[in-house]
Chain A
Amino acid sequence: MTDYRMNILVCGGTGCRSSEGANLYDELVSLLADKGLEKEIQVVSTGCFGFCEKGPVVKILPDNTFYVQVQAADAREIIEEHVIKGRKVEHLLYVAPESGKKVPDSKHMDFYKKQVRIALRNCGFINPENIDEYVAREGYAAMAKCLGEMTPEQVIKEIKKAELRGRGGAGFPTGTKWELTRKSEADQKYVVCNADEGDPGAFMDRSILEGDPHSVIEAMAICGYCIGADKGLVYIRAEYPLAIKRLKIALDQARNYGLLGENILNTGFDFEIELRYGAGAFVCGEETALIHSMEGKRGEPTFKPPFPAEKGYLGKPTNVNNVETYANIPPIINKGAKWFSSIGTEKSKGTKVFALAGKINNVGLIEVPMGTTLREVIYDIGGGIKNGKEFKAVQTGGPSGGCLTKNFLDTPIDYESLTKAGSMMGSGGMIVMDEDDCMVSIAKFYLEFTLDESCGKCNPCRIGNKRLWEILDKISKGNGTKEDLNRLKLLSNVVKDASLCGLGQTSPNPILSTMDNFWDEYLAHVEDKRCPAGQCKAMMQYVIDPNKCTGCTLCSRICPVSAIEGERKKPHEIDPETCIKCGACMEKCKFEAISVA
């Protein structure tokens, strides 16, 4: 990278590629070649920059100019103005929403100011398909240090001292897990990377694998050295084609450089990594289920103990960690446990990556030190709520987590605080909701997900969740009673206590947390048969205000089911029996005559 006068970084993450980032890259490359500048200036397709809201994103080094929503048609202007004449392309710069001013570079963007990037250190900086760029940023230095200068015990001691905890959600101390697997005696052991990211609305692991695959490979090799394994397996979702492709390229390059395979760096240590594909089952994020799936079976969880550290893949001791956890290992070895544990809170060290999404201005991928408050994440980094609406709740932990209200906005993000508040850390999904979101519907949405994903092995989860969903459905259709609310709570606790694995034990959390925090809303649904957010369709009715209606006939023409009738220039009426409540009429009415009652 340093061989070039200038680097043009084009985000090659899934979000930006989906909005035509790939064409932009090709266009930039061909224009540079036309001008004969390809030896001086390099175009790099990187991993995710995080600022998905305004993709496709382009960053120019060394001055950090940050261009947003760049289309292939803008490539010529970037080359002719910025690259050749040294003038920034003003209309592509990011405009700060509060001040309305253009921001010259990424260092001055509020989105990045409060972030600390450890796991995402290389995402958006390097070309993930080029091992040399990883090596240039201390890549494989940690592995060399471990193999050359440290004993496995010393490495484990360092990880324990760093107090790194599992980033998949549960927060089990990583060093302890490694130590347990090391102590299990066996002729063969395995290192497994859990890349089966299944939370709806989460894309942390995928972004790391797409943006910095070598960091995971390096960490897995270090883990293999520590626990005494010569084989690693990455269990990855088949729905992540780009991550799979980049991981495969990275594995080949590492083998060619002698960083994987036999006798790595002449130390006598052998390590090889294979890919295993998931096939779409959320429960496979649970480690015993994941192991069964890798064995070619249905991904049903089994009782622990025995833990995978004693009896895992093919009955052998297996260490399972999640992608983000591994991505933290090389920096800990390079910079030391003391540095790592200086970041974060008393019990939660380091940083956490979140996929920030929902009704928020800056949707994207962020990494913040543990202890950052939800308010800082939502308002300072996330830029507040979309369209000036009112904040209602933030959901963390996906289908296993809960919804927190504005009373919890000053909660510091760490494992214990979030659990105490009634949610959980989870793997890093963070969905922001505004006043238009109905909490009963949200709970129902998550239950629908669990229902789909329950493996069916144990009764509380298979049958209990179905009954929970039915009660929620009844409430959202306006047929619920107060007795239903009691039953909902009681059954939630039964499912929680009696289920076999983490999926069932946490599936009622979205219900319990919304009931705790939004009891009034549940009451309005059952007592007044009213949905305060106006989302539950069965309970609402579109009506035309005869005083405002001018009889322009637009609504009756737009209605897909011909439910609106009336004479020209006279007030129209909606037939509630025929109306399917699609809202098209309200959206199109020029006189604001249609409202929800």
Chain B
Amino acid sequence: MEITRDLKNHKVQLSENAIALVKKICRRFNYEEGELINILHAVQSQFGYLPAEIQELIAKELDISVAKVYGVVTFYSFFTMKPKGKYPISLCMGTACYVRGAENILNEIKRQLNIDEGETTPDGLFSLSSLRCVGACGLAPVLMVGEKVYGRVAQADVRKIISEYKAGCPTHPSKE
């Protein structure tokens, strides 16, 4: 949404529309402190992430300290303060995927994209995160790009999947 980023100073400029939207969400939850997590869910689903400026705004609206908001944001892994890539790649690191070789896949992605977990490629195309069990253990190891699930991924598939997204025309995920 309407966020302009000043990369040099790591500052984020919120547009008036963006500010209005955050305020609207806070109002929808009656400015209740107990609804903080739900508010953060709603705001993150709009903006994709929760930069410090948005957290300050929420704190002001709910009349609580920024530290409290920040404390909650950093406590839960679902919330992120960094924008995700256009194609967020998440790799399942649940035990079932782990014993079926997820770690090798993770290393291969890191190598291909030259980023670490929690980072985004400089062109903004890909971000990488690992998650705990998507519940598709029959397909282990599982890799997700956005909502798309790739099952039984082999190390050699990684380059192929990434290049498909780079070309902008990801093929169908069904593999067998």
Q: Closest Cβ of chain A: how far from B97's Cβ, in Å?
A: 8
Q: How far is the CA of A584 from the CA of B158 in the complex (A)?
A: 13
Contacts of B97 in A (CB 8 A): 201
Of the candidates A203, A277, A437, A560, the one whose C-beta lies within 8 Å of that of B137 is: A203
Q: Categorize the interface residue count of chain B.
A: 35 or more
Q: List 30 A-B contacts (CB under 8 A).
A: A15-B137, A53-B138, A69-B176, A71-B176, A240-B135, A276-B37, A277-B41, A279-B76, A279-B78, A280-B78, A280-B79, A281-B75, A281-B76, A296-B32, A296-B36, A296-B72, A299-B75, A355-B137, A357-B96, A357-B140, A358-B95, A358-B96, A363-B138, A363-B140, A364-B138, A398-B95, A429-B95, A431-B99, A445-B98, A560-B111
Contacts of A449 in B (CB 8 A): 132
- The reply to whether A279 and B41 form a contact with Cβ atoms under 8 Å apart is yes
Of the candidates B100, B149, B173, the one whose C-beta lies within 8 Å of that of A359 is: B100
Of the candidates B107, B108, B111, B138, the one whose C-beta lies within 8 Å of that of A55 is: B138
- The reply to whether B93 and A71 form a contact with Cβ atoms under 8 Å apart is no
Q: Is A206 an interface position by the 8 A CB rule?
A: yes
Contacts of A364 in B (CB 8 A): 138
**1/0 contact string of B141-160 vs chain A (CB within 8 Å):** 01000000101000110000
Look across to chain A and name the residue whose beta carbon is closest to the beta carbon of B133. A200
Contacts of A238 in B (CB 8 A): 41, 78
Q: Is B77 an interface position by the 8 A CB rule?
A: yes
Contacts of A358 in B (CB 8 A): 95-96, 99-100
Q: How far is the CA of A295 from the CA of B78 in the complex (A)?
A: 17
Q: How far is the CA of A314 from the CA of B107 in the complex (A)?
A: 45
Q: Closest Cβ of chain B: how far from A400's Cβ, in Å?
A: 13
Of the candidates A52, A202, A431, the one whose C-beta lies within 8 Å of that of B136 is: A52
Q: Closest Cβ of chain B: how far from A91's Cβ, in Å?
A: 14
Q: How far is the CA of A200 from the CA of B137 in the complex (A)?
A: 10
Within A393-414, which residues are at the interface with B (CB < 8 Å)? 395, 398
- The reply to whether A15 and B139 form a contact with Cβ atoms under 8 Å apart is yes
Contacts of B77 in A (CB 8 A): 279-281, 452
Q: Is A298 an interface position by the 8 A CB rule?
A: yes
- The reply to whether B138 and A52 form a contact with Cβ atoms under 8 Å apart is yes
Q: Closest Cβ of chain B: how far from A250's Cβ, in Å?
A: 19
Look across to chain A and name the residue whose beta carbon is closest to the beta carbon of B33. A296
Total A-B contacts with CB atoms under 8 angstroms apart: 139
- The reply to whether B75 and A19 form a contact with Cβ atoms under 8 Å apart is no
Contacts of A53 in B (CB 8 A): 138
Q: Closest Cβ of chain B: how far from A316's Cβ, in Å?
A: 13
Q: Is B34 an interface position by the 8 A CB rule?
A: yes
**1/0 contact string of A217-260 vs chain B (CB within 8 Å):** 00000000000000000000011100000000000000000000
Contacts of A357 in B (CB 8 A): 95-96, 137-138, 140
Q: How far is the CA of A359 from the CA of B107 in the complex (A)?
A: 21
Say whether chain B's binding surface is mostly helix, strand, loop, or mixed. helix
- The reply to whether B155 and A20 form a contact with Cβ atoms under 8 Å apart is no
Q: Is A199 an interface position by the 8 A CB rule?
A: yes
Q: Is B40 an interface position by the 8 A CB rule?
A: yes
- The reply to whether B79 and A200 form a contact with Cβ atoms under 8 Å apart is no
Within A295-353, which residues are at the interface with B (CB < 8 Å)? 295-299, 314
Q: How far is the CA of A299 from the CA of B77 in the complex (A)?
A: 12
Contacts of A69 in B (CB 8 A): 176
- The reply to whether B33 and A206 form a contact with Cβ atoms under 8 Å apart is no
Q: Closest Cβ of chain A: how far from B171's Cβ, in Å?
A: 13
**1/0 contact string of A561-597 vs chain B (CB within 8 Å):** 0000000000000000000001110000000000000
Within A36-72, which residues are at the interface with B (CB < 8 Å)? 52-55, 69, 71
Contacts of A199 in B (CB 8 A): 133
Contacts of A505 in B (CB 8 A): none
Contacts of B9 in A (CB 8 A): none
Q: How far is the CA of A276 from the CA of B174 in the complex (A)?
A: 33
- The reply to whether A445 and B95 form a contact with Cβ atoms under 8 Å apart is yes
In the complex, which of the residues B33, B78, B131, B137 has the most CB atoms of chain A within 10 Å of its own CB atom? B137
Q: How far is the CA of A279 from the CA of B140 in the complex (A)?
A: 24
Of the candidates B38, B96, B104, B155, the one whose C-beta lies within 8 Å of that of A201 is: B96
Contacts of B134 in A (CB 8 A): 14, 18, 239
**1/0 contact string of B50-71 vs chain A (CB within 8 Å):** 0000000000000000000001
Q: Closest Cβ of chain A: how far from B13's Cβ, in Å?
A: 27
Contacts of A395 in B (CB 8 A): 95
Look across to chain B and name the residue whose beta carbon is closest to the beta carbon of A20. B174
Q: Is A502 an interface position by the 8 A CB rule?
A: no
Within A262-302, which residues are at the interface with B (CB < 8 Å)? 276-282, 293, 295-299
Q: A357-B95, A395-B95 are in contact. Are A201 and B137 (CB under 8 A)?
A: yes
Q: How far is the CA of A565 from the CA of B84 in the complex (A)?
A: 40
Contacts of A202 in B (CB 8 A): 133
Q: Is A455 an interface position by the 8 A CB rule?
A: yes
Contacts of B38 in A (CB 8 A): 276-277, 296
Look across to chain A and name the residue whose beta carbon is closest to the beta carbon of B35. A296
Within B76-129, which residues are at the interface with A (CB < 8 Å)? 76-79, 93-100, 104, 107-108, 111
- The reply to whether A52 and B137 form a contact with Cβ atoms under 8 Å apart is yes
- The reply to whether B72 and A298 form a contact with Cβ atoms under 8 Å apart is yes
Of the candidates A55, A198, A279, the one whose C-beta lies within 8 Å of that of B132 is: A198
Q: Is A531 an interface position by the 8 A CB rule?
A: no
Contacts of A298 in B (CB 8 A): 71-72, 75
Look across to chain A and name the residue whose beta carbon is closest to the beta carbon of B174. A20
Q: Is A191 an interface position by the 8 A CB rule?
A: no
Q: Closest Cβ of chain B: how far from A572's Cβ, in Å?
A: 21
Contacts of A582 in B (CB 8 A): 104, 107-108, 155
Look across to chain B and name the residue whose beta carbon is closest to the beta carbon of A442. B99
**1/0 contact string of A172-205 vs chain B (CB within 8 Å):** 0000000000000000000000000011111100
Q: Is A515 an interface position by the 8 A CB rule?
A: no
- The reply to whether B93 and A279 form a contact with Cβ atoms under 8 Å apart is no
Q: How far is the CA of A449 from the CA of B131 in the complex (A)?
A: 11
Q: Is A433 an interface position by the 8 A CB rule?
A: yes
- The reply to whether A200 and B136 form a contact with Cβ atoms under 8 Å apart is no
In the complex, which of the residues A19, A55, A560 has the most CB atoms of chain B within 10 Å of its own CB atom? A19
- The reply to whether A363 and B137 form a contact with Cβ atoms under 8 Å apart is yes
- The reply to whether B99 and A359 form a contact with Cβ atoms under 8 Å apart is yes
